[in-house]
């Protein structure tokens, strides 16, 4: 039994609650999501007396509604590990450990395709869709059927970030303005693989997923990373392939984008996106009031709780006020799911994280 979540008051499952919110309608309460860096995650589990690997136990304590499920990769090793690096086994990105005063994080480095030509790009190993275990997906979906189960996440599609981790950001942004055939070739090779893995996963789940989550970071704190014309020419048609596939399975689509990204929301809605995610309130044209008034009639919202504000630096009372104000703006008419705008950072006090979820479960009711 959660000490934060009022289960006796609930009349919907998590799946029903999220489905309702994604249709921009009122559920019994606001759906709740959770992401956190390892340091604060482990401290939360210790606070609740949970084992370090008890992710579902922590979700239950916080009253979380969302759960991601994907097929297990069982294919050959494509990108061997390197000393002092963490190498992504599917796509080959490399990270190194960076210490900071609250712990540390894995940051992208080396950029192994920075000077790659077409020949090197064609040789770059990518997974085959045959190398995943799909059969157990339906069993897992049935086991966790009351959750809002999603396929994907902020890293699915994510063309500019994904390519930047391999080619370096400078080459990626140059390619947005002046076509780089080698880089574009890897984009399309990767998309082809991702689409086929997603198709097989959705088929294997037999209708038990609640939605699909894709991503593409489009903004800085102050404005767009690329022009609208570049977005429409390079990214939009590639995103559309994923949206069309998801729609063919009758599922809604949520898209993640950090920073000031509302400049693309009208295009996203026209493409068939149902929900926009992250919604960093400190970025230009991303405040809850602006988003609700400008796009609330065409999009649902997931996010808005800044990891760089009261959650990290405020008091519990300040955080409660901040959460209540966000809910007061975003809840009317339905269509809002509470989520941090990023993984909760290690400098966030445990008491503040608990206060966030307590406040949401206290003030987020429609009934």
Identify each DSSP E strand in 138-294 by its residue range: 148-157, 211-215, 253-257, 275-278
Contact 286, 280 (CB under 8 A): yes
Q: Which two tokens stand for residue 220?
A: 């800085």
pLDDT tens, per residue, the chain with 367 residues: 457 999 999 999 999 999 999 999 999 999 999 999 999 999 999 999 999 999 999 999 999 999 999 999 999 999 999 999 999 999 999 999 999 888 888 999 999 999 999 999 999 999 999 999 999 999 999 999 999 999 999 999 999 999 999 999 999 999 998 889 999 999 999 999 999 999 999 999 999 999 999 999 999 999 999 999 999 999 999 999 999 999 999 999 999 999 999 999 999 999 999 999 999 999 999 999 999 999 999 999 999 999 999 999 999 999 999 999 999 999 999 999 999 999 999 999 999 999 999 999 999 999 9
Residues in a beta bridge with 150? 68, 211
Task: Mention the CATH class of domain 7-76+115-363.
Answer: alpha beta
SS3 call for 183: helix
What CA–CA distance (Å, rounded) separates 38 from 122? 36
- Rounded to two decimals, what is the model's pTM? 0.97
């Amino acid at each position: 039994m959660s000490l934060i979540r009022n289960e006796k008051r609930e009349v919907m499952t998590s799946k029903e609650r999220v489905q309702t919110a994604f249709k921009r309608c009122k559920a019994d309460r606001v759906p709740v999501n959770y992401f956190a860096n390892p340091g604060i995650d482990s401290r939360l589990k210790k606070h609740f007396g949970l084992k370090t690997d008890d992710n579902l136990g922590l979700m239950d304590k916080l009253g979380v509604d969302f759960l991601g499920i994907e097929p297990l990769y069982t294919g050959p090793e494509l990108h061997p590990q390197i000393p002092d690096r963490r190498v992504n086994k599917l796509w080959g990105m490399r990270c190194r450990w960076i210490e900071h005063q609250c712990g540390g994080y894995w940051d992208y480095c080396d950029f192994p395709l920075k000077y790659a030509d077409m020949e090197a790009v064609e040789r770059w190993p990518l997974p085959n869709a045959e190398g995943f275990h799909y059969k157990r997906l339906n069993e897992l979906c049935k086991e966790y059927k009351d959750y809002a189960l999603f396929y994907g996440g902020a890293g699915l599609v994510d063309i500019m970030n994904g390519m930047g981790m391999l080619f370096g950001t400078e080459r990626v942004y140059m390619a947005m303005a002046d076509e780089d055939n080698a880089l574009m070739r890897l984009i399309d090779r990767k998309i082809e693989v991702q689409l086929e893995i997603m198709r097989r996963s959705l088929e294997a789940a037999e209708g038990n997923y609640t939605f699909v989550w894709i991503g593409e970071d489009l903004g800085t704190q102050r404005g767009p990373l690329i022009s609208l014309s570049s977005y429409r020419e390079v990214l939009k048609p590639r995103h559309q392939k994923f949206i069309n596939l998801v729609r063919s399975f009758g599922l809604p689509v949520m898209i993640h984008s950090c920073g000031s990204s509302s400049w693309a929301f009208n295009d996203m809605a026209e493409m068939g996106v149902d929900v926009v995610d992250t919604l960093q309130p400190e970025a230009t044209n991303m405040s809850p009031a602006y988003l609700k008034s400008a796009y609330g009639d065409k999009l649902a919202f997931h996010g808005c709780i800044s990891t760089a504000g009261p959650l990290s630096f405020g008091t519990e009372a300040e955080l409660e006020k901040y959460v209540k104000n966000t809910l007061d703006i975003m809840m009317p008419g339905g269509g809002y799911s509470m989520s941090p705008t990023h993984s909760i950072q290690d400098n966030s006090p445990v008491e503040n994280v608990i206060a966030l979820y307590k406040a949401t479960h206290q003030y987020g009711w429609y009934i």
